[in-house]
Chains A and B, each alone.
Chain A
């Protein structure tokens, strides 16, 4: 049971990353292959402050949020003017640079990383796995709620417009450059917030945990579930996050399996499992409509029993 909860926390952290990544990749349509680096920035700052300054876990959450957000703001402002394909490559580069910084700057503990990160506590009680899961779920709910809210704002509509056609968006007055940066910043900040949970949960952070491959995995989860939708982001993280735990053999060939799934998905269902317009969503819609129709019909027009 306890093991299931550990898996649960991992999956929830992945879900926070996919939902936050969705803001940039799904809503604005800008590729970002550095999400795990921002996650790492949050985790590292949380780790450094809780080990060296004995900062409370609850304070490291906003701290991680802010540091990753600032990093996203600066790096986004530099790179987001690039066209999509160049931006993709640039974010890959950013991920490597950030990991290198973790590795070589003494402040971040060098190649060994940071160990013995203290367990958080609440009302005098140290965190167990259940507490980690609870805090993780609250964070996930928060990120989902903010995403949902954004979808209904002018800002959210502007992001969709940028995704659909950047030139047209600027012609109707959308400040394209700054909105891209804001979305990127927010996405990075949320990833950083997830990092503040990850660090004490594993009690150690090492540079390799935040590599480019992790960013690819998060993006793969998002594409698998359905780019641009919150439900897709969450579902992708839950399925691909839990799969290696459910099937041992997948765990050994994790990257191979993910790669294969991604290729098949992009070939046959590029909108993702439950993305807008996917087979599954269409079927569900049709089924509910059919049910509703039948129910309505049933009340007015009972089927004839005899001919």
Chain B
């Protein structure tokens, strides 16, 4: 049984069909990237999985249980954690407190526990310190989250999503706005997290970044899956090239870039 099953999910916003019968499985330990042009429905797919929006039809199963139309807080406690395309830090809190709250698990879910003092949870503090170390935020731990630069905010997003030992990590365009220099360390961070056994679902506008990391790629266009396979397979798929370039075929060099280089890097927008 797959860890996460997306079963012909359709999402409509009024007359607009944002997702059209999207179906795929995510197995434990997999790294799947979802790519596609702007407006392809990538973020909508994420929002449906994270419980932010309810699919108009279709089912989403996590560990065999139907979870479509649940809420983000519940999905988070089940072990589906996400980052946001535009960083959403708790700006008035310190970096450490951001991660600490995200790591608190039942301490924030159950009101009775939530009324306990924050200072008294030792194992939690150790885990938070470890996470700050992994994500390279140790030096910034005591600073307010609002003082972080874009790279730091990206790391904080990931640290926060990892804080409660999730089963699935949903990364929504983690490379957006980070600049070429930040790309390699970010890729290292994400790869490292995956290698420790975490299942990762990555939505990325920037194709090369996604292809270099994942073992499976799903290509969305106008709300439907047009290709699904290994990065190698997807890179050579006629329909994918057409979706990106707006025409069939195309000579060499028109393909989506394989390696994050030059002015193609995210941050272009």
Contact = CB atoms under 8 A, between A and B. Distances in A.
Interface string A148-185: 00001111111011011101111111111011001000
Nearest to A176: B73
Given A153-B114, A160-B93, A164-B90, A173 B82 contact: no
A276 B144 CA distance: 13
A157 B108 CA distance: 9
B90 A169 contact: yes
Interface string B80-108: 01101000111111000100111011011
Interface range, A side: 20 to 34
Interface string B143-168: 00000000000000000110110000
A168 B164 CA distance: 14
Given A154-B104, A171-B76, A173-B76, A161 B117 contact: no
Interface string A97-137: 00000000000000000000000000000000000000000
Main secondary structure of the interface of A (DSSP, over half): helix
B72 interface: yes
B88 A165 contact: yes
Contacts of B89: 164-165, 168
Interface residues of B, number: 37
B73 A175 contact: yes
B1 interface: no
Contacts of B253: none
B88 A173 contact: no
B12 to A, nearest CB: 22
Given A161-B101, A170-B76, A182-B111, A153 B91 contact: no
Interface of A: 152-158, 160-161, 163-165, 167-176, 178-179, 182, 276
B116 interface: yes
A184 B93 CA distance: 22
B146 to A, nearest CB: 9
Given A158-B114, A171-B73, 14 more contacts: A152-B118, A153-B118, A155-B115, A157-B118, A160-B93, A164-B89, A165-B91, A167-B72, A170-B73, A171-B88, A172-B76, A174-B73, A174-B101, A175-B73
Contacts of B104: 154, 157, 173
A172 B77 CA distance: 8
Contacts of B115: 153-155
B82 to A, nearest CB: 6
B100 to A, nearest CB: 8
Contact of B113 (A154, A161, A178): A154
A160 B90 contact: yes
Given A161-B93, A168-B84, A173 B118 contact: no
A156 to B, nearest CB: 8
Among A155, A167, A176, find the residue whose CB has the most chain B CB atoms closer than 10 A. A155
